[in-house]
Structure 1
Amino acid sequence: MMCSNNISNYKLLEILKNGKVGTVYKAEDLNNKCLAVKKVSVDQPMEKLKLLFNEVLTVRRLQHRNINTIVSCFLYKQYVYLTYNFMCFGNCEMLLKNVYTSGSLEHTNKRIVRDVIVNKSFSEDFHQFVELCLNKNPLSRWAASKLMTHSFLKQCRNTSLLDQLKDLGKKMSNFKINEHEIFCDARCSPQPNDTIWKF
């Protein structure tokens, strides 16, 4: 379901966090669906607005199970609004602050560190993949078949279509080879019971 780009279609319920760039609210849309809405004033120094632009560009590009993606982004009066799916326990920082008030357990810390490393690896793989695709020198640019083996594509969620296309490509290649062999056999060597036409 697409979110509305009209702030009057959201009810800001409570402030979740005041950040460096803006304020994050718990909100509801017209269907009573909970969302997180980040409200950012455009009347800020350019450095802070660059942080916002980088966040939008980065989060919109990446699709990973550990990244909460932006559902909608729009401008209303002097504010930019970013809507995210609501995480009931908040982000990692809020979870650690509110739930583990006397310190977190070792296995929790290990999981967090592991997921951060996985996400960092995913992000680095994405950037490397894009660089390989956009290489201006055709001699050093990877071929499509080699790009298909890149670790970034191996991390994609749903590769079933990709697998189906690979299987279809193999079947077509085999079909062409078999068709060629059948055609050559029929043309080049008559079988014993074949009728040979003489004109």
Structure 2
Amino acid sequence: MFSNSISDYKLNSTIKAGKFGTVYKANYLNTNKCIVIKKISVEQQADKLAMLCEDVLKFRQFKHTNIHSILHCFVYNSYVYMVFPFMCFGNCQTILENVFTSGFPEILIALIFRDIMCALMYIHSHHFVHGSLRAKNILLDHKKAVLSNFRDSRSFINEGKRAKVLHGSTAGRKENLNWSAPEILYQNLYGYTEKSDLYSIGITSFEMANGFQPFMDSELTLMCTEKIRGNLPSLSDRSSQGSTSVNFSRDPVHSAMNNQRTFSDDFHQYIEICLNKNPTCRWSAQKLMTHSFFKQCRNSSISDQVKVLSVEFQRCSYIPDEPVLAADANLNHSEDVKWSF
């Protein structure tokens, strides 16, 4: 149980900051537990506060070991404080930018997505679509990976009835389009289902394996056209040399380094299944968990991989060493930050 007084928390350092709030690494003094606190002023526009309330409600709906949970939420001196568990390695996009710049090892990708697939099975069983699955929204610590950021999630349940498909979505927002499934881009009467999350799994697996975001060098129109045609990005390894498949890497030196690696046939097949243009041919999260790509997880764990790679992981820490002078310090920031919570 957490306190409703900010004096019971020690704010150690700033993780991220923006116009509408700040995220801190902190300690709960009563138990000395390391946590993350998201601090947001209540003196904002009504739509921003409504979005905040919606975020809290969505976090409260899910309780699963592989879903980033909200531990506590309280109001103190015109600020809303949201308490989250501390994930020591941050999000996978940060790790890609600082440590595995040429992509994660395949075994670590399999271990991470085994956890994320468990989270998706739980979400889908509760008739929800996540809607914005990407490396930025996957958090990692010594023991597990968790799925975060449910701002774009949507439910099939409406007025007590379950719809067969969904229509329209904030998942079609510009910042999420590179990871969005073709059926979301279509925006037609056929709608989309939870299978759209599996397409995002495939794109995110590509992102984490190659070390760069999908379609990063493509115009928005070209990206949409390529997806609708079913032209898929390819994993950069020895098997892709001389291939005419789509790659979208901006750095030829970076691609040359990746081409020295070899990914397993199971990994290639797993990506192809996820990125199938036809959603009815895509496997469900439950079926995908049985794919042979995840067999390599049987004799390993995230903690084992972290021990081997501990030095590299320490260098990717996204927590600055600057102490926070006061809980209610006035921070002057010029740009907003999109948190991965």
Normalised by the length of structure 1, the TM-score is 0.55
Closer, same or farther: CA 120–24 of 1 in aligned 2, 3 Å: same
Closer, same or farther: CA 66–80 of 1 in aligned 2, 3 Å: same
Residue identity in the other structure for 2:46: M
- Structure 2 counterpart SS, 1:70: coil
Task: Please tell me whether residue 75 in structure 1 is matched to residue 75 in structure 2.
Answer: yes
Which residue pairs with 2:124 in the alignment?
124
Q: Which has the larger radius of gyration?
A: 1
- Structure 1 counterpart SS, 2:126: helix
Q: Tell me how far apart the structure 1 counterparts of residues 20 and 112 of structure 2 sit (CA, whole Å).
A: 24
Q: Tell me how far apart the structure 2 counterparts of residues 38 and 74 of structure 1 sit (CA, whole Å).
A: 11
Deviates most, 40-49 or 102-111: 102-111
- Alpha-carbon RMSD across the aligned residues, in angstroms, is 3.4
Which residue pairs with 2:24 in the alignment?
25
Q: Is the 8 A contact 2:66 2:118 kept in 1?
A: no
Which residue pairs with 1:8 in the alignment?
7
Q: Tell me how far apart the structure 1 counterparts of residues 84 and 18 of structure 2 sit (CA, whole Å).
A: 15
Which residue pairs with 2:87 in the alignment?
87
Equivalent runs, 1:172-191 vs 2, <5 Å: none
Residue identity in the other structure for 1:28: N
Task: Please tell me whether residue 50 in structure 1 is matched to residue 50 in structure 2.
Answer: yes
Aligned-residue offset at 1:110: 4.7
Residue identity in the other structure for 1:5: N
Aligned-residue offset at 1:91: 3.4
Q: Is the 8 A contact 2:70 2:82 kept in 1?
A: yes
Aligned-residue offset at 1:93: 3.6
Closer, same or farther: CA 64–18 of 1 in aligned 2, 3 Å: same
Instruction: Return the structure number with greater helix share.
Output: 1
Closer, same or farther: CA 107–49 of 1 in aligned 2, 3 Å: farther
Normalised by the length of structure 2, the TM-score is 0.34
Unaligned runs of 5+ in 2: 129-154, 162-341
Between the two proteins, the alignment pairs up a number of residues equal to 137
Which residue pairs with 1:149 in the alignment?
none
Residue identity in the other structure for 1:46: A
Closer, same or farther: CA 27–60 of 1 in aligned 2, 3 Å: same
Closer, same or farther: CA 122–100 of 1 in aligned 2, 3 Å: same
Equivalent runs, 1:29-178 vs 2, <5 Å: 29-31=28-30, 32-113=32-113, 115-127=115-127, 131=157, 134-135=160-161
Give deviations 1:4-43, integer Å, cap 9, x for gaps. Answer: 1101111111111236853211001214221110111122
Aligned-residue offset at 1:88: 1.8
Say which structure, 1 or 2, has more relative contact order (CA 8 Å, 6+ apart): 2
Unaligned runs of 5+ in 1: 136-199
Q: What's the % identity of the aligned pairs?
A: 46
Residue identity in the other structure for 2:15: L
Closer, same or farther: CA 24–123 of 1 in aligned 2, 3 Å: same
Q: Is the 8 A contact 1:10 1:28 kept in 2?
A: yes
Q: Tell me how far apart the structure 2 counterparts of residues 106 and 113 of structure 1 sit (CA, whole Å).
A: 11
